[in-house]
Amino acid sequence: MYPYRYFLVFLAIPLCFSGRLVQCRPSEHLEKSSNYRVNSSIPTSPSPSSKNYNPPQISSSVFNVLSYGALGDGSSDDTQAFKTAWDLACEANVPAVVLVPAHYTFLIQSTVFTGPCENVLVFQAIRFYGSSNLTVQGVKIKNSPHFHFRFDYCDNVRIDSLYINSPATSPNTDGIHVENCNDVKIYNSIIANGDDCVSIGTGSYNVDIRNITCGPSHGISIGSLGTKNTRACVSNITVSDSVIILSDNGVRIKTWQGGFGSVSRVAFANIRMDRVRNPIIIDQYYCENSKGKCPNQSSAVYISGVSYTSIKGTYDPRDPPVSFACSDTVPCTNLTLRAIQLSPAAGKVNRLRAPFCWKAYGDDEKHHCLADGLPKLLPVRDADKC
């Protein structure tokens, strides 16, 4: 667990902050000292505003940013209002809520929100849009109604030592979602939720994910990509030194039929699986159609240059340990499997399912099921170039 009193959210932006709820609650766990300290080299917070506010007394449990001068019109600078609400909630010695109302868009300039606080901070949902040089560290977030953390159109992002916790049955509660971002580092975090621990969307490049404890969840995923016949481009993604526990999937790439673009230069390495249902999976027939199967389409996102190294542990034998369901017309190429050691979890097993490969080509030292070389016909499409 991460009962943080010291944490850091460093914003070098501007940031458009959509309305959500931020809560400060006493920790339910035993308190312990933390190694996290505020970096003294980071600029200090803005000075108190000169506006004549009538803030609630410190005994109040709700600190609404609108009460401190925030306008939420998407163009006015609401930085000081957020700082005032944050600081008062942080100083409160009773459970406190920083209320960021829905249906507003708040603009925040470069600033620092820091502890230590009288209460351990518990967030519900945070989105960063159009941000650069951003650090999020030592934050605890739980029970989000949707994505816990979302990063869109961001550059140079470091995410470190997060604790994310939501029920395994809660739908669409991705822990960390990254889309249209470059140079993202996600390190040293514990995530349990009802969807992907980390999901990588289109337009994401140079993402490094390391030392993540994931699960129960849907694993660590690239995608889904290519929905509604759209173009998707993802490259230079690494996932390493992590553990995935009691999850529906381990490391997954998922794309819709009909999309185009490419996924390339992806490496999964040194990952331990613990009773995971689909430890290694590529699914190019991903479909979330409640009415039944999605229609067959010939176009697909091109997947190439994906390596799996030292993936070990146990899997749920209801599904195969390796499953590559690639497109009929745009096969997966240059897949590599090395040092894969996956055993069925303890329990009654009537019949083990063999590794599954469909239109999947590459190099497999243990001959799981990959076809050698390249397909005879590999379509070359300008639309797949990213």
- Domain boundaries, given as residue ranges, for the chain: 59-123, 131-288+296-384
- Range 151-165 burial, b when 16+ CB lie within 10 A, else e: bbebbbbbbbbbbbb
Radius of gyration of the chain from its Cα atoms, rounded to whole angstroms: 23
> What pLDDT, on the 0 to 100 scale, is given for residue 163?
94
CA separation for the pair 382, 386 (Å, rounded): 9
> What pLDDT, on the 0 to 100 scale, is given for residue 110?
78
Which among 6, 12, 15 has a CA at the least distance from the CA of 157?
Answer: 12
Chain centre distance of CA 335: 24
What sign does the dihedral 346-349-351-356 (CA atoms) show? negative
Mean model confidence pLDDT for the chain: 83
> What pLDDT, on the 0 to 100 scale, is given for residue 120?
63
CB 386 within 8 A of CB 233: yes
> What pLDDT, on the 0 to 100 scale, is given for residue 237?
99
CA separation for the pair 224, 255 (Å, rounded): 5
Chain centre distance of CA 206: 14
Question: 146 an active-site residue?
Answer: no
DSSP string, 130-188: S-EEEEEES-EEE--SS-SEEEES-EEEEEES-EEE--TT-TT--SEEEES-EEEEEEE
| Helical ranges in the chain per DSSP H | 79-91
> What pLDDT, on the 0 to 100 scale, is given for residue 190?
98
Q: β-strands 15-25, 96-108: how paired?
A: antiparallel
CA separation for the pair 158, 117 (Å, rounded): 22
Which among 238, 250, 306, 310 has a CA at the least distance from the CA of 278?
Answer: 250
* Averages of pLDDT over each 10 residues, the chain, 386 residues: 39 39 32 32 35 43 93 94 92 84 85 77 77 88 83 97 90 92 99 96 99 98 97 98 98 97 98 98 88 84 98 95 96 97 85 94 87 86 81
> What pLDDT, on the 0 to 100 scale, is given for residue 291?
64
> What pLDDT, on the 0 to 100 scale, is given for residue 122?
64
CB 340 within 8 A of CB 297: no
Contacts (Cβ under 8 Å, ≥6 apart) of 336: 306, 307, 308, 309, 362, 363, 364
Which among 312, 309, 324, 315 has a CA at the least distance from the CA of 369?
Answer: 324
Residue with the two structure tokens 């390596």: 307
Which among 184, 205, 211, 21 has a CA at the least distance from the CA of 98?
Answer: 21
> What pLDDT, on the 0 to 100 scale, is given for residue 231?
96
Catalytic residue among 148, 177, 218, 368: 218
For domain 131-288+296-384, give the CATH number.
Answer: 2.160.20.10
> What pLDDT, on the 0 to 100 scale, is given for residue 25?
33
Which among 150, 210, 141 has a CA at the least distance from the CA of 174?
Answer: 150
